[in-house]
């Protein structure tokens, strides 16, 4: 935690050095002492400190300075750091001005020059001032701060990225916090830069304007480039299946890398609560599961490149070569596709226009607190929708689940169905679908179509979260790997047709259970045709597939 600051201001360099020396001698262990030889420079410095979120305990300024005297400086500085104690350093002739400043300008004390010995004429009074300041001092947040607006898609994307990558941050909504004095002081300190939202402020004082996740990832040290060009096992996708494969592969000696497009954990990492995962009787969040798995994988030496995207793949002899979005390539002997699925788009007027401004795909964990006292709609009837509804119900006035069918029984686990029924502020609307979303700058209303009656009802809505099934993102594989009509990857027995092995298959064996039509390329988890869309099954497939990888590598 950075030390609070004692700032002294004097245009006389000898006096400035002397006061800094005495302040450091007495208070250097608990405070950071900074000096400035001009009031204008000191005000600029205070604005920088405000942007860095540093605490200032004391402002000590000489009265007689050119262009701006000490009283004027302290009055200006009060607008930036109102809680800092303010003191004047004066000559005997200035005592009337000092007394007047105490009465009229809210200055806390004045000291006469010379103040020797400081033990008698400086420290006792400063001790009182600093003790008083410490009594109401609350250490400021020292991590990353994000300034933006709730209804900005770019702000949402950035917050979601930081949350899913477990990067601590403080969110400051410059619209809803416009009346907060501290937010106003921060915006004033930023000046014109405050308009370049979203703005990301770092503890070292640097800032990113109109920020995007890739720039922030580089700044916070997330790895996007591989350390070497070759790996025994490369895994595309860092969800439960990919992380499990990485843990088992690396723990058994395989040099392993994961390429993850967004954040480790995949869609499961966005789940607010998973209560049927073996070994966690009280349940755990998807974020906690992902965090534990990442730590475990890294402990075995797995490299995780995130955010990074695989955009192409080719084979050269026994090598499988991935091309990444940044143009770099990495090669491996065995490649595992664990890229999961992405939410299917909801086709209705207004949906795309308001995405990120009240309409979201997936869990929206970063938005739950913002829904305090609001009306939230959850579209979909699978477990992910039920988990999200339970999470939002903790904050929202009302949560409405919209499903096309007549019940949740065929799509949601019974334990979740029971919880939904027992939660008084959750309503289930069956035979219902979204016909249109309404709002200018953000979602305000939703038109809901009832398939039973054919009637459409327009209802108020503050936020809508969509969970309507998922499709794989496998187009980047081109024609190399066989897929079904929906794009899911075919593996093992699904590749055998009429007793014939896949076209072009040259090995004297059938494809392994989780192997695609290309030897050495495997598919696990939700991206695989016929997989069971559950976290535990993804973990199981990722773990089992490593045994087939070993068998394949033994023949390479």
Q: Per-residue pLDDT tens for 88-140?
A: 998 876 677 777 777 766 889 889 888 989 999 999 999 999 999 999 998 88
CATH superfamily of 144-220: Glutaredoxin (3.40.30.10)
- Element holding 51 (H helix, E strand): helix 39-52
Stretch 457-481: mean pLDDT: 94
Q: Torsion-angle region of residue 265: left (phi > 0), alpha (psi -120 to 50) or beta?
A: left
Going from N- to C-terminal start, the domains of the chain cover 5-135, 144-220, 230-342+474-553, 359-468
Equal fold, 230-342+474-553 vs 359-468: yes
Model pLDDT, residue 164: 87
- Does CATH place domain 359-468 in 3.50.50.60? yes
Return the bridge partners of 229, or none: none
Q: What is the pLDDT of residues 409-436, one digit of tens each?
A: 989 999 999 999 999 999 999 999 999 9
- Give the torsion sign (CA, 239, 240, 245, 247): positive
Whether the per-residue pLDDT at 364 is higher than 70: the answer is no
Tell me the C-alpha distance between 390 and 468, whole Å: 17
With a cut of 80, say whether residue 34 has pLDDT above it: yes
pLDDT tens-digit profile of 185-200?
A: 999 999 999 999 999 9
Cα radius of gyration (the chain): 30
**pLDDT tens profile 131-176:** 999 999 988 888 999 999 999 999 999 998 998 888 899 999 999 8
C-alpha to C-alpha distance for 92 and 98, rounded to whole angstroms? 10
Task: Tell the CATH superfamily of the 230-342+474-553 domain.
Answer: FAD/NAD(P)-binding domain (3.50.50.60)
Options 3.40.50.12780, 2.60.40.650, 3.40.50.300, 3.40.50.2300; CATH of 5-135: 3.40.50.2300
CA distance 16 to 8: 7
State pLDDT tens for residues 243-268.
Answer: 999 999 999 999 999 999 989 988 88
> Using CA atoms, how far apart are residues 88 and 79, in angstroms rounded to an integer?
17
Which residue has tokens 């026994």? 318
pLDDT score of 113: 86
The 10s digit of each residue's pLDDT in 366-416 is: 788 889 999 999 999 999 899 999 999 999 999 999 999 999 998 999 999
Q: Which string of b and e fits 275-299 if b means at least 16 CB within 10 Å?
A: bebeeeeeebbbbbbbbebbebbee
Instruction: Give, in degrees to the nearest 5, the angle at Cα 86 between 83 and 90.
Output: 175
């Amino acid at each position: 935690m950075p030390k609070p600051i004692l700032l002294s201001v004097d245009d006389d360099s000898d006096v400035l050095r002397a006061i800094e020396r005495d302040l450091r001698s007495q208070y250097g262990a608990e405070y950071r002492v900074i000096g400035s030889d001009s009031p204008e420079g000191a005000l600029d410095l205070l604005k920088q400190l405000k942007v860095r979120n540093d605490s200032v305990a004391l402002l000590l300024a000489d009265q007689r300075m050119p262009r701006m005297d000490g009283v004027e400086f302290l009055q200006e500085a009060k607008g930036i750091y109102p809680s800092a104690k303010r003191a004047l350093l004066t000559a005997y002739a200035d005592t009337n001005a000092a007394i007047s400043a105490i009465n009229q300008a809210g200055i806390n004390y004045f000291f006469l020059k010379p103040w020797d010995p400081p033990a008698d004429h400086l420290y006792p009074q400063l001790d009182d001032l600093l003790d008083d300041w410490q009594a109401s001092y609350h250490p400021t947040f020292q991590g990353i701060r994000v300034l933006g607006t709730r209804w900005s898609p770019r702000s949402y994307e950035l917050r979601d990225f930081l949350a899913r990558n477990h990067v601590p941050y403080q969110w400051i909504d410059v619209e809803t916090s416009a009346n907060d004095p501290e937010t106003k002081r921060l915006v004033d300190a930023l000046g014109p830069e405050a308009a370049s939202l979203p703005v990301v402020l770092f503890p070292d004082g640097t800032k990113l304007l109109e920020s995007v996740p890739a720039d922030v990832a580089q700044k916070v040290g997330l790895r996007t480039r591989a350390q070497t060009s070759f790996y025994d096992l490369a895994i595309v996708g860092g969800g439960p299946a990919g992380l499990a494969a990485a843990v088992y592969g690396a723990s058994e000696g395989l040099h392993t890398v994961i390429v993850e497009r967004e954040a480790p954990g995949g869609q499961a990492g966005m789940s607010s609560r998973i209560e049927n995962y073996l070994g966690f009787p009280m349940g755990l969040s998807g974020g906690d599961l992902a965090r534990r798995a990442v730590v475990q994988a890294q402990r075995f030496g797995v490299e995780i490149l995130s955010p990074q995207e695989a955009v192409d793949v080719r084979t050269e002899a026994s090598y499988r070569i991935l091309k990444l979005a940044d143009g770099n390539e990495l090669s491996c002997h065995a490649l595992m596709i664990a890229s999961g699925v992405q939410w299917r788009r909801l086709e209705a007027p207004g949906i795309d226009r308001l995405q990120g401004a009240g309409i979201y795909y997936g869990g929206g964990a970063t938005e739950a607190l913002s829904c305090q006292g609001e009306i939230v709609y959850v579209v979909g009837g699978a477990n992910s929708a039920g988990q999200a509804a339970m999470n939002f119900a903790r904050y929202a006035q009302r949560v409405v689940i919209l499903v096309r069918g007549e019940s949740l029984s065929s799509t949601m686990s019974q334990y979740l169905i029971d919880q939904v029924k027992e939660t008084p502020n959750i309503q289930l609307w069956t035979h219902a679908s979204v016909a249109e979303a309404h709002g200018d700058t953000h979602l305000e209303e939703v038109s809901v179509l009832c398939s039973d009656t054919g009637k459409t009802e327009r209802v108020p809505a503050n936020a809508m979260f969509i969970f309507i099934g998922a499709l794989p993102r496998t187009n980047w594989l081109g024609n190399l790997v066989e897929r079904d009509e929906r794009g899911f990857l075919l593996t093992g027995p699904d590749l055998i047709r009429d007793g014939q092995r896949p076209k072009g298959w040259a090995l004297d064996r059938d494809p392994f259970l989780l192997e695609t039509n290309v030897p050495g390329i495997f598919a696990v988890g939700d991206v695989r045709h016929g997989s069971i869309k559950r976290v535990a099954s993804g973990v199981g497939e990722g773990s089992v597939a490593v045994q087939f990888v070993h068998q394949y590598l033994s023949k390479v």
